[in-house]
Copies of this chain bind each other. A is one copy, B any other.
Amino acid sequence: MNTTTPNPWTSPTSLHSPELLRRIDAYWRAANYLSVGQIYLRDNPLLREPLVLEHIKKMLLGHWGTTPGQNFIYAHLNRVIQAYDLDMIYLSGPGHGGPAVVANTYLEGTYSEVYPAVSQDVAGLKKLFTQFSFPGGISSHASPQVPGSIHEGGELGYSLSHAFGAVFDNPDLIAACVVGDGEAETGPLATAWHSNKFLNPITDGAVLPILHLNGYKISNPTVLARITHQELEQLLLGYGWTPIFVEGHNPEPMHEAMAAALDTAIAQIKTSQHQARYGVSTERPRWPMIVLKSPKGWTGPVEIDGLPNEGTFRAHQVPLSVSATAPPGHLAQLEAWLKSYRPQELFDKQGKLIPELAELAPTGNRRMGANPHANGGLLLQGLHLPDYADYAVSVPVPGVTMASDTFVVGQFLRDVVRLNNEPRNFRIFGPDETLSNRLEAVFEATNRQWNADMAENDQFLAPTGSVMEMLSEHQCEGWLEGYLLTGRHGLFNSYEAFVHIVDSMFNQHAKWLKTTLELPWRRTIASLNYLLTSTVWRQDHNGFTHQDPGFMDHVVNKKAGIVRVYLPPDANCLLSVMDHCLRSRHYVNVVVAGKHPAPQWLSMEAARTHCAEGIGIWAWASNDEGTEPDAVMACCGDVPTLETLAAVTILRQHLPELKIRVVNVVDLLKLEQHTEHPHGLTDADYDALFTQDKPVIFAFHGYPWLVHRLTYNRSNNVNMHVHGYREEGTITTAFDMTVLNEMDRFHLAMDVIDRLPQLGNRGAYLKQSLKDKLVEHKHYITTHGEDMPEIRNWAWAL
């Protein structure tokens, strides 16, 4: 950025006059006081009587280390919000900053608005303190219970990704993101700095990272605090940021430096935005960031029991033990520590922050605790969706038309992009796989957003676009989460195996969704939609390296109210499922679909009905005609459906007397008990499909045990025989992958024969010929390098 450009945003220094800084210091002391109070006190909240053990909590829990630094940052952000009328949210990256965000949202008034019982008086203070890290109370994180939070922490590493997700398509928003120096060691955070190459200064807002270098993790120093100043500066410059350093210990100069740094940072942000938005520059801006180097546990006890505390790892959690068994001096030391903030100067007789300080906080929705972006459901607008039936594949007879399911849904998604171009509230995220996943139609409507250098032969790259691609599943997931949490819509498309990279991110998001459902003031947000393709059933050149369909297993362990799993068998079903997912709220929807050309089964009308039911008998493929079948052949997923129908063809051709019922499952959780999952079937409905006593040969896309886990307590459990992915694979043909895992048509048909001894010799004869076929297949592929023509050209023939 050319900093000599005339800049309308340069602020007069009077904006941070010594008098103002003195009041900010008082505000900071108030927040620090409330933070220590939360960790220690259950009574006597303003120390209006001498502190005694009865005022102290029995279990002292929580984290002091990061808290005073975050209080410092929050107080200073309040100033610039007021000074420049900023639309700003706050993300607390370092993990256990709960006391700080609770204290600050309480001071600014939002906490009491959301939780009136925690009022701005002595009684409210007592409640505020007691509830912290107390059974049934609030945690040591910026949890969903904290107004203004969209980022809880817990597992570290995602604050910057969430911050970027929040500001995409929010041009007026600034996400102030405190990055912990411990957090900065994680992989996801280490690459998240590069998000600045994906931000558009015109159509997106800005992220202001504040790297909080307080030196220690739990018991180790942090890497970034123990490299040279020069290395740290080079690193951040190399990441494309302009770091502004604020370093020290003494509050007075630190207030001065922080105020100046923030004025500079805001000026740089506004200048870059101004230059981009008025065409002065098309360069990628070098966005500012702040490095705040302050002692861990700043303003806390300098020494405890002869050991240094402030500025060391020992300040990480509760620095000072205070109890009947702790050294007796500790109680007095705690009292002195609390009094060092001079609470009597900060709170009035009723226990409310004095007006001179209260007015330092912004008002209304400008308060970071009240900013509607941080309660995204408030801003959520439904997507404009085209009629998905318009994209239907024509299926005059089942199994003959070939189509790529994801290619078809790509056309629908293209028009979702188009129709929502105006609100700009829909984005597709993926790690450079959108084309490979056959969603290329979306590039008729939009581009991949990219703000690094461009070159002549680049394709579908532009400074602004609705597709976000970085080779980091962590970034894709984190960006999308930030985007959803601020009230927008999106889709993550990924190779099936690699989505395990975000297992633990999904986990945290699912927990966030569950918890926010229990908070009436939190509004529901759009669902997190996964489209998983490039599945385990193709290993043409990838060998046996990473294939794994187990994300479903991971997902179904989460709360039933939150998770949905769909395996549409063809393109028309995928269209119906995708439409449903994009309309849904507050779920995690996992959609597993194929990308290779594959037989199509259902007309649009049939698909609509089938998907609405989620599970059903395919009468056209069955010949039980309303009676009890001899066997049920069930299938879930596109490849299992093809192999099942091929098996049915073989069986009906050779054993026409056999009565087979075909059941197809789109909505996996239909298999679960209705008492366990809202989509679950009752036993009566389940039995009506699967019978009470007939063999069920179930071909499943994923690990077979997942079906067993869902159906273990069904009456027909003992007859359930599931074929699925059994961790077998190598470089081989598409069909041979099913053979290796015994989910192919021949093994399925043989299993039916095995379960029906009444077939006698005719069954045995057919079984032998199927075995011969398998030998012939093996020989053919190793000779020809491809599947036998009769397998490739197979079509539903009945």
A residues in contact (CB < 8 Å) with B: 42, 57-59, 61-63, 96, 133-141, 143, 152-157, 182-183, 185-192, 194, 197, 215, 217-223, 226-228, 231-240, 307-308, 311-314, 432-433, 435-436, 448, 450, 452-461, 469-472, 474-475, 497-498, 500-501, 503-504, 507-508, 511, 514-515, 540-548, 550, 553-554, 556-559, 703, 705-706, 708-709, 711-713, 717-718, 727, 730-733, 736, 781-782, 784-786
Contact = CB atoms under 8 A, between A and B. Distances in A.
Given A62-B541, A231-B237, A500-B504, 17 more contacts: A61-B541, A133-B731, A139-B543, A139-B544, A153-B545, A155-B497, A156-B471, A187-B474, A221-B458, A221-B461, A227-B240, A233-B238, A236-B238, A501-B503, A515-B544, A556-B705, A708-B713
A471 B543 contact: no
Given A220-B461, A511-B545, A542-B140, A226 B187 contact: no
A540 B57 CA distance: 13
Nearest to A240: B231
A759 to B, nearest CB: 23
Q: How many copies does the complex hold?
A: 2
A741 to B, nearest CB: 12
B712 A548 contact: no
Nearest to A187: B187
Contacts of A237: 231, 234-235, 238
A760 to B, nearest CB: 26
Most buried by B among A135, A183, A226: A135
4 closest cross-chain pairs (CB), A and B: A235-B238, A139-B543, A154-B545, A187-B187
A396 to B, nearest CB: 27
A457 B313 contact: yes
A573 to B, nearest CB: 26
Nearest to A722: B712
A545 B152 contact: yes
A308 B185 contact: no
Contact of A550 (B139, B223, B546, B554): B554
A144 to B, nearest CB: 9
B507 A500 contact: yes
Contacts of A785: 42, 57-59, 134-135
B504 A541 contact: no
A57 B786 CA distance: 10
Contacts of A541: 61-63, 96, 133, 139-140
Given A507-B497, A554-B550, A705-B709, A219 B472 contact: no
Contacts of A234: 234-235, 237-238
A432 B546 contact: no
Contacts of A458: 221
